[in-house]
Structure 1
């Protein structure tokens, strides 16, 4: 019997995205140039395979909340307060939505993510480093 409180991942994702004002890659790029913190949460292997966004802060997903909670002893210097604009980037824009919603739970209500993720960023012709050799 299913737990009546259980939700599917599609429901969880939809709920997360309802809380965000998601950005297309061009909007995210413009905001990052204007001082927003662009955070790449992809694992090292994905970044090596796909390439990276120059200037993006790399914070892998498993430590994101600790690095951006302004009250955490493990916070980054960039985690200056709850009003910080954080733009989360993953490979395709799914995990980043969940991560940005998690930052909302910490009070960083200006956090959002990039529709389509890194792949959409690269397809839009925005700055990236070269991907590693094909595996």
Structure 2
């Protein structure tokens, strides 16, 4: 197993990941869905209409309520579901948010690709 695979495994061990068919229900129940994909991926593959876009390079600063750059909605109590393209970078990002004290942060299994497939099949 590579080093990054081990890192990913450790990150996911602390997450209760969201299946793609549950993402909309999570949002409707109050979860903050955060799309961390860069603009080029969103342009190529599409967007989630109910997600907030916060690209990966500024995620921690925008969601850490103690940061001067935090969004007004940032809270340690927030239920956050992080979304990337395929569900890898989002796991690492969600684990980092947990390290910042946002205990209810998690990610979407399979990322945008899996969500789009679930939506198209619904």
- Of 94, 97, 118, which residue of structure 2 is paired with 1:103? 97
Displacement after TM superposition at 1:83 (Å)? 1.0
Q: Provide the TM-score with structure 2 as the length reference.
A: 0.94
3-state SS in 1 of match to 2:119? coil
Q: Relative to total residues, which structure has the larger helix share, 1 or 2?
A: 2
Displacement after TM superposition at 1:33 (Å)? 1.2
Is 2:18 the partner of 1:23? yes
Q: Provide the TM-score with structure 1 as the length reference.
A: 0.85
RMSD, matched Cα? 1.1
| Unaligned segments of structure 1, at least 5 residues | 1-6, 127-135
CA distance in 2, matches of 1:44, 1:119: 15
Displacement after TM superposition at 1:38 (Å)? 0.2
Ranges of 4+ aligned residues in structure 1 off by more than 4 Å:
none
- Of 6, 23, 26, which residue of structure 2 is paired with 1:11? 6
Over alpha carbons, which structure has the higher Rg?
1
Displacement after TM superposition at 1:27 (Å)? 1.7
- Of 34, 44, 54, which residue of structure 1 is paired with 2:39? 44
How many residues of Structure 1 are paired with residues of Structure 2 in the alignment?
119
